[in-house]
Structure 1
Amino acid sequence: KAANIMSKKKYELAALLTYENGKNRYEAIADVDEAIDFLRYYAYIMEENEGYIKKMNQCYPDEESYSVLRPYGIFAVISPFNFPIAITTGMCTGALITGNTVVLKPSSDTPISAIKLLEIFEEAGVIDGAINLITGSGSVIGDALVTSKDIDGIVFTGSRDVGINIYNKANQIRPKPVITEMGGKNACIVSKDADIDKAIVGVARAAFGYSGQKCSACSRLIIHKDIKDEFMDRLINFVDKLKVGNPIEKDTFIGPVINNKAYEKYNRCIDIASKDGKILYGGKVREDLNGYYVYPTIVDKLPKDHEFLKEELFLPILAVIQYDRFEDAINIANDVDYGLTAGIFSNNKLEVDKFFDEIQAGVLYANREKSATTGAMVGAQPFVGWKYSGISGKGTGGRYYLELFLREQSRTINK
């Protein structure tokens, strides 16, 4: 029912997103569509698993045994600004549909979206007290939830440092489930056997969609030396045609970054990139508009251990790395603490197979023009982080996600 209500309000919610977090029209509608998909898919998974009650093997003729997955109790849901409808809906639905109650703490940048989501749940018939909203800063409200003895589990999407801090603090009093998605430093490998036309579109969309403010954004381009010059010329020409401007306008591709803190970080990063590498494109802000508008930026010639090649920036900054042997490309892609998404463009089957076998990341794409590293679809591409990109090893929008909100109970009945 909530999915149907949200579908009817899709354009209203998408417009709100554009105003609240600066997504362009396409990205805002996709955000709401993903939320609808979460609602429907998790309902389907719950029904398919018959409420997670399974009859087990029979040990004795006079006994029957069952495995039952039961809710933990109260989940704190700490949601991000970049997908304030989709990710928030997914996390809340995961907890609610499995029988838990929720205390939702949305990003302080996007509280209105969370309020609208609660109104939809209320209209759909979610009982009073099953989902509760509290707004405020993460350092105050979030910390209080994480350390509360009354919270039985936590689900969080955000930065690595915050996620690890939550995990450590939450388990100081007693063991409890902590489900996290903690960002990425995602690479796309472009082989000399790639379809360059596809790769240009896929890389640009992945790197600069929503101003790079996605945990799945492509922030490292690993490109073969033989095609680098041609590819970069054509990529820059393509990116130059992407409009930076007011996201309300239908032809805008890149809107503002989320707040002044992100804007100032972009400017600091540009200063560093100018000194330590070579800016091939961008590196400037749009000062004629009122807001935090920055241009997509492409940086080359950074030292191999530079922080921009290792740490998540959450900005529209793409670092370029040249390679010679394909083994080097794989090693470069894996040489980070993160393991969320990765992409490859190659028409060489052996390279694609090696990529799938050896890349240390949870979500992989090959030759995907839609986007090299972003755009996972609910029910098709489980969104799961390896290494410092996640803790649970199970992905949102996948078949095993709901089980993270449940604990097993063995029941045996003597007939």
Structure 2
Amino acid sequence: MSDFKLTYSTMFAPPEALHVRFEQALVDLREELGRDHGLFIAGQDVLTGQTLEKRSPIDRGWLLGRFQAAGEHEVDAAMNAAHEAFPAWRAMPWQRRVELMRRVARLIEERVYRIAAAVSLETGKNRMEALGEVQETAVFFDHYSDLMEQNQGYDHVLPNDPLEDFTSRNRSVLKPYGAWVVIAPYNFPFALAGGPVSAALVTGNTVVLKGASETPWAGRLLAECLRDAGIPDGVFNYLSGSGRGAGQALVDHPHTAGITFTGSYDVGMAIARAQLARPYPRPCIAEMGGKNAVLVSRHADLDRAALGIVRSAFGMQGQKCSALSRIYVEAPVADALIERLKAQIAAIRIGDPAAREHWMGPVSTRAAYDDYAAYSARLQQHGARLLAGGEQLKGAGYADGLYCAPTLAEAPLDHPLWTEEMFLPIVMLARVDSLEQAMREANASAYGLTAGFYGDAAETDWFFAHIEAGVTYANRPQGATTGAWPGYQPFGGWKGSGNTGKAIASFYYLPQYLREQSQTRVD
């Protein structure tokens, strides 16, 4: 495996040894199911007396563990711990913080199979998606350390003032804010916790992480990596609990110096607005939703397009903010593309995602499962028709889980679901008369996260020039709209998909966790 580099682009042809090690980790992990897990505050495990039972969406009879529900008391303790730890962590040389972040990365890599097995059981991801997420998290810790080194800790000497009688020395120094809150989503509970946590920590902020109530295990496993790497007590703290309870208390806490949130548009905008309404504004990085489109030209390689579309629409059961939701295909090739898509969908193997033979697993939550039924009904109204799927799977092998069939629907352009983020294994298709019409429809969305294109070289240049999205792909069989990896594709949205205009893992991401101080010293 030494020559194999796991990314979302390479995950489709892994070596056999990867499967062997994952399966052994799964066997070992199953022996630990049902245990109690504490919060992690000021270097200590904390029990609250209020627990969340986490059951697997693969089989609701599997109790993965009992996790503590944080209330206002635990939020206050975690924020106080982070606030008190901040002066010493900020004063630590940035080179030492980088050293500790790289130690976290190595521990994640050492535990990649065990953590990935837990992520698969907790979210319903297939083994390769789960392994990719955990490995990506290690890369985040390394990548942000690299950026700190490349920018010399964001401490830059500027020219002296042009004075004859004095030496006036100038510099720009970026400094951390304080106790930073990270609120992670359920679909990437390890990577979208670990990514912003690593960015906040390496830049000198302390952190309180709240994992999604649907996926508390991943955050706990991340906390153990940070603890075992030697991060000082109070510098990192982990809470699990509800958004309305623990989440809102974190947003409102007086020690909260900044927030990174990943989730829905409505919640993200409410958090961002709340930080602006403070006596002085606090930074908020809100990564929000997507309603991602692909444009398919009459000149496209339709086999490549069908493969990329299916991978992006149904990978992780469509529960990615980058998942493909809208297909606009030029009418002369629409029928040919539909036939290829139907064949690809029919070949998808669905079942326990930890098993090697299954590519699609269950949706992650009961709410998503119920939403799927409602959306499927609506996709048979207003002139729409189902071309594949549309059914909750309840037969043998599915009865105890939250399984839904991958769904393709053709709909008129005025159908209301073209504008709703469904976050499910559902993709809609419309025939268009031209690429110009396809572009107008793609850009009409309130979101602007990812977008894809299949066509010839000249059309591809035109696509990149006109599409309104932060992450764009052309002629990519690995995924029409998905598959960003740190160091290869920065990941961030335009319009309602993100509030900063800066992308995760880009050159410009870390300065968002810092504020600038101009220093002038006259000799």
For residue 342 of structure 1, the aligned residue among 439, 451, 457 is: 451
Equivalent runs, 1:80-159 vs 2, <5 Å: 80-159=185-264
| 2:504 pairs with 1:399 | no
Give the Cα–Cα distance (whole angstroms) in 1 for the partners of residues 416 and 491 of structure 2: 25
**Secondary structure of the corresponding residue to residue 201 of structure 1:** helix
Q: Which amino acid aligns with 2:255?
A: D
| 2:310 pairs with 1:200 | no
**Secondary structure of the corresponding residue to residue 293 of structure 2:** strand
**Secondary structure of the corresponding residue to residue 184 of structure 1:** coil
Give the Cα–Cα distance (whole angstroms) in 1 for the partners of residues 506 and 230 of structure 2: 25
**Secondary structure of the corresponding residue to residue 372 of structure 1:** coil
1:226 corresponding residue in structure 2? 332
Equivalent runs, 1:44-83 vs 2, <5 Å: 44-61=146-163, 62-83=167-188
| 2:108 pairs with 1:6 | yes
Q: Which amino acid aligns with 1:286?
A: L
1:359 corresponding residue in structure 2? 467
After the TM superposition, list the runs of 4 or more consecutive aligned residues in structure 1 that deviate by more than 3 angstroms.
none
Higher relative CO (Cα under 8 Å, sequence separation at least 6) belongs to: 1
Query: Is the 2:302–2:337 contact (alpha carbons within 8 Å) kept by the matching residues of 1?
Result: yes
| 2:402 pairs with 1:292 | yes
Give the Cα–Cα distance (whole angstroms) in 2 for the partners of residues 139 and 293 of structure 1: 28
Query: Is the 1:383–1:397 contact (alpha carbons within 8 Å) kept by the matching residues of 2?
Result: yes
For residue 428 of structure 2, the aligned residue among 305, 314, 319 is: 319
1:189 corresponding residue in structure 2? 295
Give the Cα–Cα distance (whole angstroms) in 1 for the partners of residues 437 and 271 of structure 2: 35
- The sequence identity of aligned pairs, in percent, is 42
| 2:490 pairs with 1:382 | yes
Q: Which amino acid aligns with 1:300?
A: E
Give the Cα–Cα distance (whole angstroms) in 2 for the partners of residues 190 and 333 of structure 1: 12
| 2:341 pairs with 1:235 | yes
Deviations 1:23-78 (A, max 9, x none): 10110011011101101100000011000000112213411100000001011100
**Secondary structure of the corresponding residue to residue 171 of structure 2:** strand
Query: Is the 1:153–1:178 contact (alpha carbons within 8 Å) kept by the matching residues of 2?
Result: yes
Give the Cα–Cα distance (whole angstroms) in 2 for the partners of residues 322 and 23 of structure 1: 32
**Secondary structure of the corresponding residue to residue 381 of structure 2:** helix
Query: Is the 2:173–2:516 contact (alpha carbons within 8 Å) kept by the matching residues of 1?
Result: yes
1:194 Cα deviation (Å)? 0.6
Give the Cα–Cα distance (whole angstroms) in 2 for the partners of residues 262 and 142 of structure 1: 21
Equivalent runs, 1:258-277 vs 2, <5 Å: 258-276=364-382, 277=384
Q: Which amino acid aligns with 2:389?
A: G
Deviations 1:242-275 (A, max 9, x none): 0111112111111111111110000000111112
1:224 Cα deviation (Å)? 0.8
| 2:506 pairs with 1:412 | no
Gaps of 5+ in 1: none
Query: Is the 1:380–1:398 contact (alpha carbons within 8 Å) kept by the matching residues of 2?
Result: no
1:144 Cα deviation (Å)? 1.1
**Secondary structure of the corresponding residue to residue 221 of structure 1:** strand
For residue 385 of structure 2, the aligned residue among 269, 275, 278 is: 278
Query: Is the 2:379–2:411 contact (alpha carbons within 8 Å) kept by the matching residues of 1?
Result: no
Deviations 1:145-165 (A, max 9, x none): 112221010000001111011
Pairwise CA RMSD: 0.9
**Secondary structure of the corresponding residue to residue 393 of structure 2:** coil
1:196 Cα deviation (Å)? 1.0
Give the Cα–Cα distance (whole angstroms) in 2 for the partners of residues 307 and 170 of structure 1: 32
Aligned pair count reads: 413
Q: Which amino acid aligns with 2:226?
A: F
Normalised by the length of structure 2, the TM-score is: 0.78
Q: Which amino acid aligns with 1:16?
A: A
Deviations 1:100-154 (A, max 9, x none): 0111111001111101101101111111100111211001111111122210100
Give the Cα–Cα distance (whole angstroms) in 2 for the partners of residues 57 and 73 of structure 1: 29
Give the Cα–Cα distance (whole angstroms) in 1 for the partners of residues 410 and 253 of structure 2: 46
Give the Cα–Cα distance (whole angstroms) in 2 for the partners of residues 325 and 274 of structure 1: 26
1:176 corresponding residue in structure 2? 282
